[in-house]
């Protein structure tokens, strides 16, 4: 699935098919915020996790989270789970392939002026 990304005047992102703002929040933190580390989300990266905020981590075969697409298998495919935690709410999750995660990051970075 190819999602669209827009950057609002206040700097936040809006991502299509992201009703809970999981990907938008992640992209903001990973591109202009505190998680801006390109290596963290590479094929060999560990991701980033911050308690009470969320993050993105690699899925493994033992992960309790399962992808929506039955063709994807965490023991075979590079899958990532992006999570947004909010106080007093259940965490919201999105499962992406590594390629889709890095494509979203790349497109979000292209929307940020180089002086930021």
Q: Domain map of the chain by residue range?
A: 5-110
Contact at 8 Å (CB) between 93 and 65?
yes
Q: So what's the pLDDT on residue 104?
A: 96
Taking residues 25-31, report their average pLDDT: 92
How, if at all, do strands 13-15 and 5-7 pair? Answer: antiparallel
- What stretches of 5-100 adopt beta strand conformation (E)? 5-7, 13-15, 48-50, 54-58, 79-84, 92-97
pLDDT at position 89 is: 83
What's the mean per-residue pLDDT of the chain? 88
pLDDT digits (tens, 9 = 90+) for 73-97: 888 899 999 999 888 888 899 999 9
Contact 39, 45 (CB under 8 A): yes
CA distance 45 to 97: 13
């Amino acid at each position: 699935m190819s999602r669209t990304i827009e950057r609002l005047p206040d700097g936040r992102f809006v991502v299509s098919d992201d009703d809970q703002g999981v990907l938008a929040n992640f992209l903001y933190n990973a591109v202009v915020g505190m998680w801006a580390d390109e290596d963290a989300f590479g094929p060999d990266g560990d991701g980033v996790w911050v308690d009470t905020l969320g993050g993105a981590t690699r899925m493994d075969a033992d992960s309790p989270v399962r992808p929506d697409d039955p063709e994807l298998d965490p023991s075979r495919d590079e899958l990532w789970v992006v999570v947004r935690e909010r106080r007093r709410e259940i965490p919201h999750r999105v499962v992406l392939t590594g390629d889709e995660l890095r494509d979203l990051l790349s497109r979000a970075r292209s929307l940020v002026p180089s002086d930021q």
